[in-house]
Structure 1
């Protein structure tokens, strides 16, 4: 195919994702958290975007990731299991969780985050995240990543999550459209590949 033809095809693909504000509105309107139970339990991260270069690089090297969130009298206990660079690692933190309308605020150690739960297709949910991370080098050191960035950083991310570890092509395309409405164009930084499998707690090292 000639260059002109390739550019035409690329233009058609990009334009197909460029939704109008009216089309975007139902995709980015947060769900009610009157029943916060949707926040708890086990969820698989199936795809995601991040606007911070270092975290984007980490996301591109994650082979699989899942979360388990348990309610507690003090907020929640959050565990995340990642297969990263071929190694199984996990974090487990007691976090403070507050609900204000359709906004979830989570804080622990050197990170504070606000989240909105957005509608997804076929029992999937989309989580829109805004985080502030302090002492960024300490976070990276836990992952054995060297960085001279010790400043406070702010980042945005959006994740497609499901109770089952399956992702259809149509659900992924819908998520890309939704992400584009939130300012994340193009392909996700992370897409789950079923060949990678998920880490178990028994084989994971706490960081």
Structure 2
């Protein structure tokens, strides 16, 4: 898959549907997450995208914005004490699957997320994603599964 193939497909707003992690620090956050969305926008620099994010975690609204480098289907970000590299995996047309490797204070964490254009995904697509997670050796079950109902924080 080339950048030209995936690059335009990542733009827009995405609702966080389900997430896995291999580390309790991230799992604790995933379990407290009520709802979340991301918005990926192009910038004037061809290898930079803007990532806006809105989260409802433990009933509190949190938002953030960060520039990310995008090259060869890989997103990279360094912010505060964390660096992360995200790879896009094949998925359904209205889905975005990202496999992240993050390092925080010398702790290495892997996470796998699926986003959709709408609040729900077909059951077959979720099953396929769960099989991907199992194949990639993520602990089961998912630590975050959006209920499709809880409202989304809008900045």
Same fold (TM over 0.5): yes
1:61 and 1:167, CA in 2 relative to 1: closer, same or farther beyond 3 A?
same
Superimposed CA distance per residue, residues 95-138 of structure 1 (whole angstroms, 9 cap, x where no aligned partner): 24140x343323334322211111113531211111122xxxxx
Distance 1:119 1:96, change over 3 A: closer
Distance 1:132-1:43 versus aligned 2 partners, 3 A rule: same
Partner of 2:19: 48
2-structure distance, mates of 1:68, 1:107: 18
Which of structures 1 and 2 has the bigger CA Rg?
1
Q: Is the 8 A contact 2:22 2:139 kept in 1?
A: no
From the superposition, tell whether residues 96 and 194 of structure 1 become closer, same or farther in structure 2 (CA, over 3 Å): closer
Which residue does the alignment assign to 2:151? 197
Give the count of matched residue pairs: 152
Matched, 1:33 2:32: no
Distance 1:96 1:168, change over 3 A: closer
Provide the TM-score with structure 2 as the length reference: 0.87
Q: 1:192 to 1:112 in 2, by over 3 A?
A: same
Q: Mark the runs of 5 or more structure 1 residues left unpaired by the alignment.
A: 1-30, 134-150, 202-207
Deviation string, structure 1 residues 133-184 (Cα, Å, up to 9, x no partner): 2xxxxxxxxxxxxxxxxx3321100001112221232222111111111111
Higher percent of residues as helix: 1
47 and 41 in structure 1: CA distance in 2 versus 1, 3 angstrom threshold: same
Which of the pair is proportionally richer in strand? 2
Corresponding residue for 1:84?
57
Q: CA RMSD in A?
A: 1.8
Q: Is 1:130 aligned to residue 101 of structure 2? A: yes
Partner of 2:83: 112
Give the match for residue 74 of structure 2: 103
TM-score (norm 1): 0.67
| Cα 1:55–1:104 shift into 2, 3 Å | same
Contact 2:10–2:96 (Cα < 8 Å) also in 1: no
> Is 1:64 the equivalent of 2:64?
no
Structure 2: tracts of 5 or more residues without a match: none
Cα distance in 1 for partners of 2:2, 2:96 equals 13
2 CA distance for matches of 1:40 and 1:153? 30
1:165 pairs with 119, 123, 126, which one? 119
- SS of equivalent to 1:196: coil
